[in-house]
Amino acid sequence: MTLWYEPREILIGGTWRRTAEVLGVEDPSTGEIWSEIAAGGAAEIDEAVAAAEAALQGDWGRMPAFERGRVLMAISRKILEHTEELAFIEARDVGKPLKQARADAIAMARYFEFYAGACDKFHGETIPFLDGYTVYTLREPHGVTGHIIPWNYPMQILGRSVGAALAMGNAAVLKPAEEASLTALAFGRIAMAAGLPAGALNIVTGLGEAAGAALSGHRGIHHISFTGSVPVGQLIQAAAARNVIPVTLELGGKSPQLVFEDADLEKALPFLVNAGIQNAGQTCSASSRILVHRARYDEVVEKMAARYAQLRVGAALADLDVGPVISGKQCNMINGMLDLGKDLTLAGQGVIADDAPKGGHYVRPTLLARVNPDHRLAQEEIFGPVQVVIPFSDEDEAVKIANGTDFGLVAGVWSENGGRQMRMAKRLRAGQVFLNNYGAAGGVELPFGGIGKSGHGREKGFEALYGFSVLKTVAAHHG
């Protein structure tokens, strides 16, 4: 394994450079510091924004759409050439099992492939108007786009956000999460080697309060996309309001899966559990609430509990079912939430492997039954491998419980009744509804985003291109 990147460097205007200060990076599997990143701040963000603006005025801004597509496609291919290295780095940095990290690298390549093909196929239109006029619209980039991404899926979120922004011809400034910046930096090397012009992508690592705040409040950016916590999302939206720029927020959720009495349980079961424990539950679209019709309630709890008993937790490179959570802070937060559930029915738990390193941040996957829908564990995002199972009696009650949180990101429905599927799809408050599946295999084509405190704006798919471009109307009077 060659670690072919230098994590203490940031990328500005096509040049890699160091900062005066560095930050230690912890391996969540061991609790040891295994790397360092540059601690960028306001000065580096200023330079990155200026470099992005210069790229828009230069080679990148003048590049024809089809050539942008070729560059994005070259990036996609290079990511695939480095899948194993990227997966290794991500597994150590985030703590996710190697197979999940590998899937994330492949998904990042797929985003660039998808958006490569879209570059020269997304355009304006002509509008019939008065005699003597020709009216048409132009789809243009916003200009400089800011991207603040979290640590749970660094590669996937980079792919969906930066991929779509570059496809529309924006120049991006990316601020990865301080906990897990290394694959973003490795991606920077890949993008430059694939021929992305200098300044089209700039990467500044550093703390959220420093580099992140400087980027979101910068007067030189024209759009900001953010994935992370609700409180920081509120700060980002306030900063965007001051500069009157558009903002895309993806802030997590409390996503339910509804299991009706006619559900095909054998098909549903793997999805019910996996959607709660994947990436140790640190997934914005994690299904942390399982709502089950009373007629099948005991059966579902029993079968889910049996799966939980088989779950093995260990170091990322041991590649078990579940890895550690990202940090001691996150671990304490999850355990604090679990303390609130001491009076609830503990239905099932996974097992921490004997050889899991002692300093790692391990949490036993936990299934809690007979939870009141108003309980804090059924209302607040836990962001750990914890699921609650709630009973319901009919469709109306199921919808009331499902829609009864501040969030609205994803919902899943398990039923063999076609009419019910359609009714649920309409009544559930969520940005994505999955019928007899959950997550639709992570498809990059599927628009994604939330309602309520889950945020607003849509990423992924063709829909993201609307968000990362602006429409100009041209009306020519020619007699």
Nearer to ligand TXE, 47 or 381 (CB): 381
Q: Which of 87, 284, 344, 411 binds ligand TXE (CB under 6 A)?
A: 284
Least distance CB 367 / ligand TXE (angstroms): 19
Contact call for residue 209 and ligand TXE (CB under 6 A)? yes
What is the distance between the alpha carbons of residues 252 and 383, in angstroms, rounded to a whole number?
A: 9
Angle at 382 between CA 376 and CA 386, to 5 degrees: 95
- DSSP class of residue 145? E
Is 300 in contact with 338 (CB distance < 8 Å)?
no
Q: Does 228 bind ligand TXE (CB under 6 A)?
A: yes
Least distance between ligand TXE and beta carbon 51 (Å): 20
208 lies in the site for ligand TXE, by CB under 6 A: yes
178 scored as a contact of ligand TXE (CB under 6 A):
yes
Residues 12, 200 contacting (CB under 8 angstroms): no
Rg of the chain on CA atoms, in Å = 23
Q: Which stretch binds ligand TXE (CB under 6 A): 29-37, 208-216, 258-266, 417-425?
A: 208-216
Binding test (CB under 6 A) with ligand TXE, winner from 229, 349, 403, 417: 229
Active site residue: 9, 85, 113, 250, which one?
A: 250
Task: Report if residue 338 touches ligand TXE, rule: CB under 6 A.
Answer: no
Q: How far is the CB of 282 from ligand TXE (least distance, A)?
A: 7
Cα first-last separation, the chain: 68
- Per CB under 6 A, does 150 bind ligand TXE? yes
DSSP 243: H
Contacts of 223 (CB under 8 A, 6+ apart): 142, 143, 144, 145, 146, 165, 170, 245, 246, 247, 248, 467, 468
Q: Specify the residue, 232 or 424, whose C-beta has the smaller distance to ligand TXE.
A: 232
Nearer residue to ligand TXE within complex by CB, 170 or 216: 216
Six token digits for residue 175: 């601020």
Residue 235 interacts with ligand TXE (CB under 6 A): yes or no: yes
The CA distance from 419 to 262, in Å, is 12
Q: Which of 88, 115, 308, 383 binds ligand TXE (CB under 6 A)?
A: 383
CB of 235 to ligand TXE, least distance (A): 5
Q: Which is nearer to ligand TXE, 82 or 453 (CB)?
A: 453
Q: Is 146 in the site for ligand TXE (CB under 6 A)?
A: no
Question: 270 in helix, strand or coil?
Answer: helix
Q: Confirm or reject binding of residue 381 to ligand TXE (CB under 6 A).
A: yes
3-state secondary structure of 203: strand
Instruction: Please give the C-alpha separations between residue 192 and each of 67, 75, 187, in angstroms, as whole numbers.
Output: 15, 9, 9
Binders of ligand TXE among residues 244 to 273 (CB under 6 A) are 250-252
* Binding of residue 177 to ligand TXE (CB under 6 A): yes
Among positive and negative, which fits the CA dihedral 396, 402, 407, 410? negative
Span from 13-21, 136-144, 229-237, 434-442 in contact with ligand TXE (CB under 6 A): 229-237
Active site residue 81: no
Element (H, E) at 140: strand 133-141
Q: Which residue is nearest to ligand TXE (CB)?
A: 208
Between 38 and 177, name the residue whose CB sits nearer to ligand TXE: 177
**Identity of the residue, 72 or 338, whose beta carbon is nearer to ligand TXE in the bound complex:** 338
- Which of 39, 162, 180, 232 touches ligand TXE (CB under 6 A)? 232
Write the single-letter amino acid at 394.
Answer: D
Using the rule CB under 6 A, which residue among 156, 170, 205, 216 binds ligand TXE? 216
Q: Is 279 in the site for ligand TXE (CB under 6 A)?
A: no
Q: Given the complex with ligand TXE, which of 93 and 113 has the nearer CB atom? A: 93
State the nearest-atom distance from the C-beta of 352 to ligand TXE, in Å.
Answer: 21
User: CA-CA distance, 76 to 136, in Å (whole number)?
Assistant: 33
Residue 305 and residue 300: Cα distance in Å, rounded?
8
Interface with ligand TXE (CB under 6 A), residue total: 24
Which residue type does 377 have?
L
Rule CB under 6 A: is residue 28 a binding residue for ligand TXE? no
d(CA 335, CA 382): 9
Smallest CA-to-CA distance from 212 within 149, 282, 164, 157 is with 149
Sole window of 40-48, 53-61, 120-128, 174-182 interacting with ligand TXE (rule: CB under 6 A): 174-182
Residue number, 30 or 181, with CB nearest to ligand TXE: 181
196/235 with CB nearer ligand TXE: 235
**31 Cβ contact partners less than 8 Å away, ≥ 6 residues apart:** 328, 357, 359, 360, 361
Q: Considering the rule CB under 6 A, would residue 180 count as an interface residue with ligand TXE? A: no
Q: Which residues contact 130 (CB under 8 A, 6 or more apart)?
A: none
Taking the CB of residue 230, how many other CB atoms lie within 10 A of it?
15
Phi-psi region of 195 (alpha: psi -120 to 50; beta: other; left: phi over 0): left
What is the set of active-site residues? 250
Residues forming contacts to ligand TXE in the complex (CB under 6 A) are: 148-152, 175, 177-178, 208-209, 212-213, 216, 227-229, 232, 235, 250-252, 284, 381, 383
